[in-house]
Structure 1
Amino acid sequence: MAKNDAVLLDGIIQDRMALDMLDRGEAFEMFSFQQILKSYDLTRDEIESGWVDGKDDGGIDGFYIFVNGVLLRNLNNQVWPKKNAEIDIWIISCKHKDSFKQVALNTLFPTIEELLDFSKAPSEFEGHYSERLLKARQTAVQAYLSTASALPSLNFYFAYASRGDLTELSSNIEARGKQIKRIVNDYFSAATVSIEYFGATELIALHRKARVILELPFIKELSQEQNAYVLLVPIDVYADFVSDEHGQLRRYLFDSNVRDFLGDNRVNQDIANSLDNSQSPDFWWLNNGVTILATNAMPLGRTKAGNAIQLHDVQIVNGLQTTQSIFNYFKSAEANANGRCVLVKVIISEDDIVRDSIIQATNNQSLVELAGLNATDKIQRDIEEILERNDLYYERRKNHYKNIGKPIEKFVTPLLLAVSVVALVKKSPSKAGLLKTRFMRNPTSYEEIFSEKFPIELWPKLAGVIKAVENGMIATVPKLKATGNRVLGNWRGAVALCVMAKLHGTFNFNQKHILETEIDSISQDFVESVFVSLRKLRSFKEDEIRVTNTDKLCQIFCRQEDLAGIEVIGCWNMPSGTKNRWLERNTQLANEAPIDPETLILIGNSLPKQPWPPGVHVDISRKLDLDKKFIQKAINQLIKAGVLEHQYDGVVVNSNGYVTAIDKKRADPRYKIGDKYG
């Protein structure tokens, strides 16, 4: 995992080097400072003020002093607290190395022994230290002495950042770190001392934690617990809250949402209609509202806009459809709040496990989206980042890149990547052709396909190969694009596998071969030649049986092209043995619980116009990956609500018992439209 994170980290550092005109080591240091001190919300100038790296730095790259959370820079006008003073001293060492080295702490050790002995004047130091480092040390001494009467709470934080893997941290490094802690405790017996190590994985995780601090005005607080608020927020105020200074939607607020705006579907049309209708009941009566996660909340009391609360690290984890609809409404010149409000639930937690459980729970209201809950997994975020660096856009969150106008031909879906893994890594084209998103609900199969053991650079190669193959197939048979993904889906894995086997001379190519593949070498003509060959082989007869299994086709292709590695084709099986809890829950819901409105609408929109053909619920079940009983129950619920009409053997009957439509192929010929049924 750390190796993949190091690749992502290197890409970020490369960007910073070009943007900030820094060398690699400087860019790494600046990035590390920004991530480690993110909770203090420092400006670039403030971070640079504590940057002490250079000649005679004593092994210290960053030295920062905070009093009650405020960075100390200019002591001339400093007002010192008279009580409840808290001093945080951060000492940071950054090494752009592949692993953590003891030498970094060895260099730091004598520096700490001298600099943190506040009884010594700089003239008494045996070591040579830069002016910047001595100035930072003097600021720490001044803060300590100036708050002495307030009996300050003193906290020392030592941070060591590298590109290394924390799981490989050696015992001698940890032992040296403990020695540093003991030295500090000898000088400051009441101080708390901690030493933290930040490798590539930890720095990337911090980088992804957006530091967003926003004020949310509200008109009424319906409930307030220790870590939660339920607020009524005017819809125009909420529209401003989610808009940036340029009037654009703050899309980064939805990074933890498993889907993006779903467009003009029935639910969103209903939301828009309720906003347009000024005579409708208050908006929050008709809408489930919005859920916001934050790491901290500070009530601000009365402001110009009324009561307000300041929220840190804002993420809107449920209510994106409501939010986008409100935002769209207020882009219209005729928009009017008319005193209407939206219900906003704010939950405060810094615990990642708690936050993830809230994300899953709040996004579990529409069953068809449950597979999308994997969208917030670390591996999915890693894939999105590495693909974007290769000019591809990973749709881990449905509709995200579509809504921000990225070119659709560069989209890559999780299913497409899974197909490429099964076809090219597992060498099982038939299973790749049958793959559905439901596999993501099984943790065992999901973790094997989206494996964190794969080198992160593998994903853009897999995506590039499968997209080049798809484009070549569509150019060969243009109607494939028009007929949907069924034929394309059945064949693309086999074509991709044979293309790669021809490129590398064997079907038993490995991940290293994939990484070395030049995507430009997979030309349209090359794909066409392989595709045409496989289609011809489909009519090839062995034992007078027509070959339809794509594993078998690849084996025949292997022999005809005199390629090696036939033994690996089709040997892999999708892992099983983990209970499909989603399916169990789905079946339980089909038999017990009422179906939520959004899922009902989705199923209703998926049904063809009545009269339906026989077995329509089976077709919809396959299309939406839902249990057949669940679909049948939804249809009955829609009929009961008057959205759909009853249907008996091809005869459609309204609630008054009159025939409104007929399937002439199977309906009783004695019925005509307008007749009384029965």
Structure 2
Amino acid sequence: MDRIIQSYMEAFLKSQQIVEKDKSRKFEIFASYCAVENHYSETYNISDIIVGKGGDCGIDAIAIIINGTLITSKEEIDDILEMNKTFSDISFIFIQAKTSSNFDYGDMGTFGAGVKDVFSEQPQMVRNSSIAGKSAIVEYIFSKATYIKRKPTCYMYYITTGKWQDDINCTGRMNMAISDLKDLNLFDDVRYIPVDSSLLQKYYRSTIDAVETEIEFENKILLPDIKNVKQSYLGIISYKEYLKLIVGENGEIRKSVFYDNVRDFQGDNPVNHEVAETVCSDPQKFVLFNNGVTIICKKMTNIGKKFTLSDYQIVNGCQTSHVLYNHRDDIEHDLQIPIKLIETEDDETVNRIIKATNRQTEVSDEQLIALNEFHRKLEAFYGTFTGNDKLYYERRSKQYNYGSDIEKVRIVSIVTQIKSVASMFYDKPNLASRYYSRLLSSITGIFSEDHKMLPYYTCAFTLYRLEYLYRNKSLPSNYRKFRYHILMMIKYRLVDSKIPQMNSGEIEKICQTILKVVKNNNKLVELVTELVSIIDKYVDDINSTEPTKSSELVEKLKLELTM
């Protein structure tokens, strides 16, 4: 392993607070993260994709992404289908990572066979519980085949610390694996990607460097001075130049540049279908029919017609961008796109632009949740903690990713906040596997303006501490699936009185009691060990995920702890 990869890997492990002695295991985790970041750049727990251990079919990690969401349960699939009506974009990502300095065609073939076995109706290989869980999700997705608008794409990353040389034997094994998977007739495309040390370095750099793109923007007008805006332009841009903004070096659409907390791509709905018809059959009129896109960047420089945008977000135009990308092979390159380009770092201005531009289309209050004043206050409240108590509330996608050396596991996304508070203070751990907006709609009063901030921090901090103990093997990993139940149970075990309302001063006293325990490793391990013994009383198969979804189990645990 070269010194650069070693340095990157250690920096990554530190940012994830992962203490792992086994060199191969460390590399598997690091390499898997780098590969998945090509497709999914939101905050997530690395434990949700790692599957490598005995009976892993030669696979170290699996990520399943539907409509821009990393899927960890069947319930999320149901919720996405209910909200979007179709599966417009499905990606299956498989990773095998080796610390060796060469590409072994035998291992590459085994990896391909293992991936095929995951999709087999009659598997031939031994499967551990993680592989079995992912395979069950795969099977469930294909059971909804009538809702799949376009067949999935399958990606296989074989990663080593060596140099890729286009070896004929390795290439042959790759082609055989691709052919075997295509023969299943399940995929729109299958890609086998050999990743060497040089490419892996590039992947990792892309996870920590702000996205930066240079475009030619000739047909524009400079808008007058606007308060809190450094500069802004209105104009049209060619399709060829616009693709540079939305397509990464791997040829995939850049999910990270879309403000997806507002709205995911909605698939081939009537509006998007009309857009597709226009761009394919009458592209010259597209500029007349389309409202255009709005791009906000933190830094913008230009020399003549060349503009360099740094750390930018397309805050309105997600639907348009995906339609253009999906039909890129059918579009004439003289197609022009209306564009609004704004340079500002002022949060309030950004919020108002997002609200205004998205109100022109059907976007619900639920989808604009990140812009509520409560979340700005909560972000500031998180900022009052220091040292080991420090967490970072991420209102915006990748808010803390670029130019920052903070430990990534200390970042609390809105999704994590919703799941943790729903579990600890609303007694709904059984719903934590749901898609976050579906979970949100099931909770009355969450994020109310009169709520105390400390309960939100307390549940997120407790979850952070639990994840740390699971990640570093201080707690048995097979109970991690019950972490949301444990959040609720901790509250009931440590509080003798009736749980007060979220706007009560008494709730803060309860939070202080909880925090005092969870900050102490020994006390928290002792408490969780006691709580999992209670779970054991009511769960027959601790390796199954089905009990985690049971409302009956929630009631039994509550009764046990409040008797």
Instruction: Give the TM-score of the pair, scaled to structure 1.
Output: 0.34
Which structure would you say has the larger Rg? Answer: 1
Ranked by relative contact order (alpha carbons within 8 Å, sequence separation 6 or more), the top structure is 2
Instruction: Give the TM-score of the pair, scaled to structure 2.
Output: 0.40
